[in-house]
Amino acid sequence: MPNYTALVTLLAIVLYFSTGLMVAKARQKFGVVAPATTGHTDFERVFRVQQNTLEWLPIFLPLLWLFALYVSDWGAAVLGLVWIVGRLLYIVGYSDDADKRHRGFLVQAIASGALLIGALAGIVLRMMHGA
């Protein structure tokens, strides 16, 4: 069982859940009443953090699990933690200023790319060796 990957998956879900709480708090702080998603620049950045995280989860989670199943549970977990660190950097940067989101975005994109390449290589190698 890919236990390490399962733990990282839960951490990613907790991270996403926390972005939802951040949006709720920002709605109160900046007076943006649902269903509005605009109205105050500081709120809009927090909202985009949540949305961008949601946009990346369907890319990240399958890659994470394919890497775990075809390459390594431990390796997937490490790359998953790098992805989470990248998302945290993105959250902190973007919440402060939109121009500060790039470093975190790059870190999580590189981790996703490594998961993609590793998963693809692992699948192809298994297919070639009939396993």
Rounded-to-integer distance, Cα 70 and Cα 48, Å: 33
Rounded-to-integer distance, Cα 70 and Cα 53, Å: 25
Rounded-to-integer distance, Cα 66 and Cα 48, Å: 28
Rounded-to-integer distance, Cα 118 and Cα 120, Å: 5
Dihedral (CA of 78, 84, 88, 91) sign: positive
Residue 88 · residue 68 · CB < 8 Å: no
| pLDDT for residue 130 | 77
| pLDDT for residue 123 | 98
* Domain residue ranges in the chain: 3-128
| pLDDT for residue 72 | 98
Fold for the domain defined by 3-128: Four Helix Bundle (Hemerythrin (Met), subunit A) (1.20.120)
Rounded-to-integer distance, Cα 103 and Cα 128, Å: 37
- Find the DSSP H helices in 31-130: 41-70, 73-96, 102-128
Mean pLDDT by 10 residues, the chain (131 residues): 97 98 97 96 96 98 98 98 98 94 98 98 94 61
| pLDDT for residue 131 | 61
